[in-house]
A and B are shown apart, each in its own frame.
Chain A
Amino acid sequence: MFCAICVNQVGFLNPAFFYSIKSLGEVKILGIKSKDLLSINDISIAEIDEIMQNARSMKQIIQRDIKKVPTLRGKSVINLFYENSTRTRTSFELAGKYMGADVVNISASSSSVKKGESMRDTARTLDNMAADVIVMRHHESGSHKILAESVNARVINAGDGKHEHPTQALLDTFTILEHKKSLQGLKVAIIGDILHSRVARSDVLIFNKLGAEVWFCAPPTLMPSKAAELGAKITYNIEEALTDADVVIMLRIQLERQDSGFFPSIREYTNFFGLNTRNIKLAKEDCIIMHPGPMNRGIEISYEAAELPNAVISEQVNNGVAVRMALLYIMGGGRPSETV
């Protein structure tokens, strides 16, 4: 068993961190077997459980006045973002910094990528600078596979095209588990643009692993053609999706989808696929409302619905940092083979 906090940091204690060790107790890590986290399929139920346990401890850290711990001091985390992002990038950046790692952000618009360097070459360059973890977001599905094969660093997928966004699924799971005992038997309705959603594709995998019943609801034009084969129940009727739901996850509808002809108008979308204070009553009383953000208030979710007491949208953001700290801790603390 390996305890990064206890072993690595004893010599460098500051008072705040010393306090943190005591209060956290002994945090054990078994590590994640897979070198990279590209898909929810890369991690087992036990590993998910470990991430959840660690994230709980991390959440305590970020609730403190002084949030920095030196656990990952001497480790480097590179955020390689080929797509614009505020939420995820900042979340990873702060997660790394709170853990004491050196964090470097690279965005495609202001880097050698713009000069035409291939992703593989960029990746190798970063690898040769001894990066421990590379967090990448890319607009093309499957691009992380190329990256992961090209580098020694461990790769965390922060979203690849329309494929997966495993850390969002982990933080969604963490958020649900803060409100429900387990996911076993829960009805989770994911409503919105499923077709283009990497969140939905990661969520369905993790929720199914943990025993939930996942529903996808979208206009048929925004539903993958074989969505049922991904493990979700399909409906085009929001009322059916909401009825007796324990968890509702609303997805952002990108306004440019209308111009591409996926649906007739915003008015119609809101009318038939928007969450509001009326239709949420179909869900269970203790149903929680989630949204990966950024929200279009008044479109996929009404202003009032987003402000309901059981809307946990800002908790998700907070949990996002904790879950990513846990992941960086587990994955940045050393390879599984070195942790014995």
Chain B
Amino acid sequence: MKLFKNARVIDPVQQIDQVMDIRVNGNQIFETGVNLVPNSQEEIIDLAGKILTTGFVDLHVHLREPGEEYKEDVESGARAAAAGGFTGICPMPNTKPVCDNDTITEMLVIKGQRTGLVNIYPVGAITKNQDGKELAEIGMMKKRGARALSDDGRDVMNSLVMRRALDYAKAFQMPVFAHCEDTALAGHGSMNEGYYSSKLGLGGIPKEAENIMVMRNIMLAGLTNGHMHISHMTTKEGLELIRQAKKEGHKVTCEVTPHHFSLTEAAVESYDTNYKVNPPLRTQKDIEVLIQGMAEGIVDVIATDHAPHDLEDKDKDFSNAAFGISGLETATALTMDILYHKHNISLMRIAEMLSSKPREILGLPEQKIASGNIADFTIIDPELSKKADKGKFYSKGKNTPFHGVTLKGWPVMTVFAGKIVMKDGEVIEQQ
């Protein structure tokens, strides 16, 4: 038994925001209450001044396994997740080979279980080999633990195929995650098209390349009544399209990454390839609208798009460097620093975006801070200020633009299935 005392509990499912104690027995919450009396055998964890929420779930990570284990693998990714306060992660299927079948899906789930650090909810490919042509074996993947579908890294450009995917996925209650990018229009750009791309002489990716596909995908959701989830949304126009789609009752949800609500294209002026990401960093105006959308509830989810790379792929000129940011270990701190401290977005809203909403999108059972529920907790010290340090990353990907940046509000403990798997930034191995 463990007794977590005096935490400020944020439970977005029950809409609880109150200081209380939680007694955990095995992997489950045994009881909750104010001033629970400790018994002699149990471990007491005092969380005064800390925030405790249901465990965070990240809808969008790249674990690189199978195929590119030198960049990341299930184990290192699981450690990074635990360090970042996540108890569930959704690896994207753009591995080598592509996760477009039940065998790889099952392998990821089992390897995740073996770490004892995190739940892995694989995202299966929409189409075989992510070629955008033939549907992958969606039902078979669902049977082995896939919770969502995506051809992440590219969009399904053929609208008929996307329509079929949305239709077909309904039979298995799976959402389709769309990486919205008109590939021809995006071309070989490496940053947002605008003043900075003009000035820096770098190929631009117009935001219309994203907006056009957001609109198409929303329309296909309307046609099919399928669940369309827009991955890593970055533009103010996209947000307005989502707002409208929700008003019309379409099954459309969306996510925003921490780097897209914290950085603008101006950062690329350094030519630092850690700022190279797809979709690209946009403008201050976009950030303002996205944050407004998060406050209002138009944005459903914060997801990291954790994209670890080895040094070689990033240590190149800007145009030839790989896209992506290693984000699992800074996401919670960026959310707390920027959304909670600087923009006064409520902890309830933050917990929704990081815990209850992603679970709902994946079709997972609700998780509550209540007796009988699985004890998955993310515990945050909202006042802790420290510098992000890539040297301490558990992820193999050290590609972060936030190294050395002081952020306020860090995850200080992760509890996964009743076990403390991270404490003060240190991952506690479970194997």
- The A227-269 residues at the B interface (CB cut-off 8 A) are 236-237, 261-265, 267-268
* Bound-complex Cα distance A225 to B220 (A): 13
Interfacial chain B residues near A264, Cβ < 8 Å: 128, 134-139, 168
Query: How far in angstroms is the closest Cβ of chain A from B138?
Result: 6
In the complex, whether A166 has a CB less than 8 A from a CB of chain B is no
Q: Contact at A263–B168, with CB atoms within 8 Å?
A: yes
Main secondary structure on B side of the interface with A: helix
A12 within 8 A of B: no
The answer to the question of B37 belonging to the interface, with a C-beta cut-off of 8 Å to chain A, is no
List the one stretch of B74-82, B113-121, B159-167, B354-362 in contact with chain A.
B159-167
Q: Does B133 contact A (CB under 8 A)?
A: yes
Chain B: interface residue count, which band?
A: 10 to 19
Q: In B105-149, which residues have CB < 8 Å from any A CB?
A: 128, 133-140
Q: In the complex, how many angstroms separate the beta carbon of A202 from the nearest chain B beta carbon?
A: 24
Q: Which chain A positions have C-beta within 8 A of B168? A: 219-221, 263-264
A296 at the binding interface (Cβ < 8 Å): no
In angstroms, Cα B138 to Cα A268, docked, is 8
A261 to B224, CA, bound (A): 16
Cβ-defined partner of B135 (8 Å) among A263, A271, A272: A263
Contacts of B133 in A (CB 8 A): 261
A236–B171 touching, CB < 8 Å: yes
> Cβ of A267 and Cβ of B137 under 8 Å apart?
yes
CB-CB under 8 A for A220 and B170, given A264-B128, A268-B139: yes
Q: How far is the CA of A104 from the CA of B160 in the complex (A)?
A: 43
A267 — which chain B residues lie within 8 A by C-beta? Answer: 137, 140
Chain A residues lying within 8 Å of B138, measured Cβ to Cβ, are 264, 268
CB atoms of B128 and A221 under 8 A apart: no
Which residues on the A side are within 8 Å of B167 (C-beta)? 219-221
Residues in A whose Cβ lies below 8 Å from that of B164:
221, 261-262
* Interface flags, A117-145, vs B, CB<8A=1, else 0: 00000000000000000000000000000
Residue among B128, B133, B137, B171 with the highest chain A CB neighbour number at 10 A: B171
Q: B161 to A261, Cβ gap below 8 A?
A: yes
List A285-339 residues whose CB lies under 8 Å from chain B: none
Beta-carbon contacts of B25-47 to A below 8 Å, as 1s and 0s?
00000000000000000000000
Measured between beta carbons, the chain A residues less than 8 angstroms from B161 are: 261
Query: Is A261 a contact partner of B160 (Cβ separation < 8 A)?
Result: yes
Q: Give the residue name and chain of the A residue nearest to B173 (CB).
A: A236
Q: Would A268 and B171 count as touching, CB distance under 8 A? A: no
Closest to A237 in B: B171
CA–CA, A267 and B128, complex, Å: 14
Task: Give complex CA distance A262, B167 in Å.
Answer: 10
User: Which residues from B are CB-within-8-Å of A272?
Assistant: 139, 171
Known: A261-B133, A262-B164, A264-B135. A271 touches B140 (CB 8 A): yes
Q: A149 to B160: give the CA distance in the assembly, Å.
A: 37
Residues of chain A lying within 8 A (CB to CB) of residue B171: 219-220, 236-237, 272
Given contacts A220-B167, A221-B167, A261-B133, whether A268 and B160 have CB atoms under 8 Å apart is: no
Q: Which residues of A contact B137 (CB under 8 A)?
A: 264-265, 267-268
Tell me if A236 and B170 are in contact (CB < 8 A).
yes
Lowest 8 CB-CB distances: which A-B pairs, in order? A236-B171, A220-B167, A264-B135, A264-B137, A220-B170, A268-B137, A272-B139, A221-B167
Instruction: List 26 A-B pairs, Cβ < 8 Å.
Output: A219-B167, A220-B167, A220-B168, A220-B171, A220-B224, A220-B226, A221-B164, A221-B168, A225-B223, A236-B170, A237-B171, A261-B134, A261-B161, A261-B164, A262-B164, A263-B135, A264-B134, A264-B135, A264-B138, A265-B137, A267-B140, A268-B137, A268-B138, A271-B140, A272-B139, A272-B171
